[in-house]
């Protein structure tokens, strides 16, 4: 079936039940690379991405630049810590992706504020098959809008289309909704944790999990 439309999935809290696991490992790795005090109110940062938050905390508290080598050390350590925990899917994730790709005219891609190595591990943990072009993470990109835009461009190349008739962003966080709004995309919310905030800020559809998903 010819791909005409696209769904851009967030990962943590949307496809994988990994938000708390990721946040705990993230804080632990910051301590391991020398940070002594952490602002755990991650939503207060200008950009809700691993790359930006880690760099901001590291450079502010240690008063030195975060080198590329240090970023890679942080990313590898973060992935190792996360890999020690069991990563479960948000109910219906794997089945939904299979249905979308094989039985509809929707393609899929993944745009995450996570760094790439832990994002790869999470998708593999729930046995989602994907091409590397379908995943854009925050390694070298701070802004969520840029991550999503890059994911869409990569998806156009992967699916060999010049544009998509519809693009739907799917996420569990308020930042996912705001990013979709800033880019003029449709949005579908997932989960109960942020349901009230999503609806309050204009989300028209919020499903409890992905087994309820309809397009």
0.75 cut: is pTM over it?
yes
pLDDT at site 43 = 64
CB count within 10 Å of CB 106 equals 20
Q: Report d(CA 128, CA 109) in Å as an integer.
A: 11
pLDDT at site 36 = 87
Q: Report d(CA 60, CA 36) in Å as an integer.
A: 11
H or E stretch including 186?
A: strand 186-190
- What are the per-10-residue average pLDDT scores of the chain (215 residues)? 92 98 96 85 76 93 94 97 98 97 96 97 96 94 96 97 97 96 98 96 97 89
pLDDT at site 41 = 62
- Are 112 and 138 within 8 A, CB to CB? yes
- Cα 11 to chain centroid distance, Å, stands at 4
Q: Report d(CA 77, CA 177) in Å as an integer.
A: 30
- Are 118 and 75 within 8 A, CB to CB? yes
Span 5-18+87-212: which CATH code?
A: 3.40.50.1000
- Are 36 and 61 within 8 A, CB to CB? yes
pLDDT at site 72 = 95
């Amino acid at each position: 079936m010819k791909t005409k439309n696209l769904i851009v999935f967030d990962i943590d809290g949307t496809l994988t039940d990994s938000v708390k696991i990721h946040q705990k490992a993230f804080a632990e790795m910051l301590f391991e690379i020398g940070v002594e005090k952490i602002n755990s109110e991650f939503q207060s940062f200008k950009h809700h991405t691993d790359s930006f938050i880690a760099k901001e905390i590291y450079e502010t508290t240690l008063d030195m630049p975060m080198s590329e080598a240090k970023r890679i050390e942080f990313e590898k350590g973060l992935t190792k810590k996360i890999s020690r925990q069991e990563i479960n899917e948000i109910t219906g994730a794997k089945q939904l992706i299979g249905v979308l790709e094989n039985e509809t005219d929707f393609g899929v891609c993944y745009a995450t504020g996570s760094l790439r190595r832990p994002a790869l591990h999470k998708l593999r943990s729930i046995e989602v098959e994907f091409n590397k072009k379908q995943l854009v993470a925050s390694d070298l990109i701070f802004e969520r809008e840029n991550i999503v835009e890059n994911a869409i461009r990569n998806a156009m190349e992967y699916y060999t289309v010049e544009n998509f008739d519809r693009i739907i962003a799917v996420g569990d966080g308020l930042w996912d909704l705001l990013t979709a709004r800033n880019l003029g995309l449709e949005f579908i919310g997932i989960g109960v944790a942020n349901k009230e905030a999503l609806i309050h800020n204009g989300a028209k559809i919020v499903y409890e999990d992905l087994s309820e998903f309809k397009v």
